[in-house]
Amino acid sequence: GKYASPVTKEDLGRATWTFLHTLAAQYPDNPTRQQKKDVKELMAILSRMYPCKECANHFKEVLRANPVQAGSHAEFSQWLCHVHNVVNRSLGKLVFPCERVDARWGKLECEQRACDLLGSTTEFGEEKH
């Protein structure tokens, strides 16, 4: 039978960063204890289960040197941008100016409230995204 064409490391990386930055864009200003725990756990799991072993091991080291900061939306999105830049530097890529992170990666486009974390209306403001 026909097999799917293999995904490149680069494709996988880009998809993963898009996922993470979109997650960060929707991360609340005042996350619950559980949300903070979940986001740290997600990063730890990624560093263990990421389909590219060499990348996973590198991410483990990066996390060890830069523990997840998830106390607020600003903190998490800035932390993620910093970590993305650490990885980019190691790959010889350009770094992204972290003060522009909110302009570059926005929230998921979907029906009002349909994709807020926990469907919560209090933590995301009422504007439509």
CA dihedral defined by 113, 118, 124, 129, rounded to 10 degrees?
-30
Show me where the domains of the chain are located.
Answer: 9-119
pTM for the whole thing?
0.79
**Rounded Cα gap, residues 88 and 96, in angstroms:** 9
Instruction: Give me the amino acid identity at 56.
Output: A
Residue whose tokens read 């979109």: 22
DSSP summary character for residue 98: G
User: Which tokens go with 58?
Assistant: 């590198």
- Superfamily of segment(s) 9-119: ERV/ALR sulfhydryl oxidase domain (1.20.120.310)
Q: What is the mean pLDDT of residues 8-13?
A: 94
Residue 17: φ, ψ to 5°: -65, -40
The model's pLDDT over 26-55, given as tens digits with 9 standing for 90+, comes to 999 999 999 999 999 999 999 999 999 999
